[in-house]
Structure formats: C-alpha cells, structure tokens
Amino acid sequence: MHELFVSGGTLPEAYHAALAALHGQNSVLACSDYGTRQKEASVTFVSGIPLGEPMISRLFIGDARALEQYRQEMLDGILDFEVDLGNWEYTYHRRMESQVPWAIDELRRNPDSRRAVISLRDDTDMESGSPACLQSVHYLIRGGSLHCKVLFRSNDAAKAAYMNAFALVMLQKRVADALGAAVGTYTHRANSFHVYERDWPMFDAYAKRIKDGANLTYNYAGDWDALMEDSKAEIAETVRRLREGR
C-alpha cells in the first residue's frame, strides 16, 4: 500500500499536493461494500499556515453555502436532531461536543499535555454499515501555538477531504481562541485516501489543473467569509424545514 506524505503552506497548497500525490501513486482495487472500484493510498498532508490566504480551494464539490453549512454542522451541531429522529446514526459534532470542552480544560491544566485527544470511534460503529470516518482529533500546544492532528480511517479525496479539513481548521481556531493560543499546523492523516471510479474523470481533471498551475484558490477573508455569512439565513431556513419534516 502506498504511503504518501506531503506538505504545503496554506490549506489549499497542502490539499492540492495530496491530490497530486494520490494521482501519481495509487492502487486500483475493489471497493466491494459499494460495488465499485477505487484509487487508494495512505496519505498525510500538513498545512503549515492553515489560516493563511488564499484559504479556499476551488477543487471541491460545493459553494460557499455548502461550506458554511458543513462548518455549522461540525462546529455547532445544526443537524444533530437528525440523530434524535433516527435518520442518521451519528454526527461528528454529537460525538465531539462533550470532549472539546474537556480538551480545552486539559490544555489549560497543562499546556504541555499530550492527552487532549478527542475520540470519535464508538462501539456502535462495529455493527454499523456507515461507521464514522473521522477517528480522532489531537491537540497539542507547542511553542505557544495549538497544533491539530486528525486521523481518518477513510476519506474521499475528491469530494469530502477539503470540506473536512476546512471545518476542522475552523474548530482548531475556536479551541486556540479559547486557550489564547496561536493557530499552529494542521495535519490530516487518511489511512484510506481514495477516489471512487465514478469520480476518476473529475480526479484526472483536478490533477491536470494542479499540474498546469491553474488558479485554484479563492481568498476566505474579504471574499468567501462574506458569501458564507450571507448564506446563514438560507441555511437556517433549510434546517427549520428539515426539523419540521418539510
């Protein structure tokens, strides 16, 4: 199995390097649970300045509204009620909500601590047809900065990884702000970083754009942050309708 490690300054630089690495070195193998094939490798990508601009990648499926909704899902639990209604088995927020305050308290207790690990694996995952992909989030304060290291058992490289990383960086910032620390590096590890066969043409196009040096980013500050802010009312209405079953 290919083991790939890449890094970049900004979050898009690191993510695009991961896509390029996967495109260049992967194994094509069956994904029998879903009746398809995948291109796969184990990949770790590191962003040295995850809040650095430009912060938004153009290589993900979605727009500012989708990114804002996903951020709210992970950080604020706006769709946790789907678990209560029995529609979803879990949300990342529901599994993390009690652990994030504990991690902050642990790092206040001892800024040198190695114990501030949030675990998302649950016993129910052993019987589930869709167990949690995100397994753990580890925070460490080193040199006055809060570093974040996440582990995914499985991560859709072309469709999910960037949105996952963006939301986790936003959570990292929230934790860092609570601790009065700077935001340090963001490390994203996926034991199975993969692209399904139906998405191979899109993946090829992404890789070509990266290789050709195309403009693949937007600024977050002063650009997408405003677009995401503007989408909040529409998201709130969507959530209200979902909650009411309409």
Half-sphere exposure of 157 (CA within 13 A, CB side): 36
Is the pLDDT reported for residue 121 higher than 80?
A: yes
Structure tokens at 243: 């909650």
Q: What is the pLDDT of residues 126-171, one digit of tens each?
A: 888 889 999 999 999 999 999 999 999 999 999 999 999 999 999 9
Higher pLDDT, 216 or 245: 216
For residues 142-176, one letter each, b for 16 or more C-beta atoms within 10 angstroms of the residue's C-beta and e for the rest, the string is: eeeebbbbbbbbbbbbbbbbbbbbbbbbbbbbebb
Where helices occur in the chain by DSSP H, the ranges are 11-24, 64-76, 81-84, 92-96, 99-109, 161-179, 200-212, 225-230, 232-243
CA-nearest of 147, 212, 234 to 185 is 147
Structure tokens at 181: 């620390």
3-243: which CATH topology? Answer: Thymidylate Synthase; Chain A (3.30.572)
Distance CA 133, CA 164 (A): 10
Give the pLDDT of residue 126.
85
Q: What is the pLDDT of residues 176-226, one digit of tens each?
A: 999 999 999 999 999 999 999 999 999 999 999 999 999 999 999 999 999
Distance CA 113, CA 138 (A): 11
Is the pLDDT reported for residue 246 higher than 80?
A: no
Cis peptide before 50 (omega within 30 of 0): no
SS3 12: helix
Maximum Cα–Cα distance for the chain, whole Å? Answer: 50
Please name the residues in contact with 161: beta carbons below 8 A apart, sequence gap of 6 or more: 15, 18, 155, 188, 190, 193
Model pTM above 0.85:
yes
Q: What is the pLDDT of residues 16-50, one digit of tens each?
A: 999 999 999 999 999 999 999 999 999 999 999 99
Distance CA 142, CA 185 (A): 10
Burial of 245 (0-12, 13-18, 19+ CB in 10 A): exposed
> Integer distance in angstroms from the first to the last C-alpha of the chain?
46
Extents of the domains making up the chain: 3-243
Distance CA 173, CA 94 (A): 19
Which amino acid, 41?
A
CA-nearest of 231, 226, 224, 227 to 54 is 224
